[in-house]
Amino acid sequence: MATKEPKETEIGKIAHYYTNIGVAVIELSKALKVGETIRVKGHTTDFQQKISSMQVEHKNINEAKAKQSVGLKVLEPVRQNDLVFKVA
Query: pLDDT tens, 18-66?
Result: 999 999 999 999 999 999 999 999 999 999 999 999 999 999 999 999 9
Domains of the chain, CATH where assigned: 8-87 (2.40.30.10)
What angle (nearest 5°) sits at the alpha carbon of residue 42, between those of residues 81 and 88?
Answer: 100
pTM confidence score: 0.91
pLDDT band, very low/low/confident/very high, at 2 (cuts 50, 70, 90): low
Report d(CA 79, CA 34) in Å as an integer.
22
pLDDT given at position 4? 67
Asked if pLDDT for residue 6 goes beyond 90, the answer is no
pLDDT band, very low/low/confident/very high, at 1 (cuts 50, 70, 90): low
Report d(CA 52, CA 34) in Å as an integer.
6
Q: Supply φ then ψ for residue 25, to 5 degrees.
A: -105, 125
Report d(CA 84, CA 38) in Å as an integer.
7
DSSP code, position 3: P
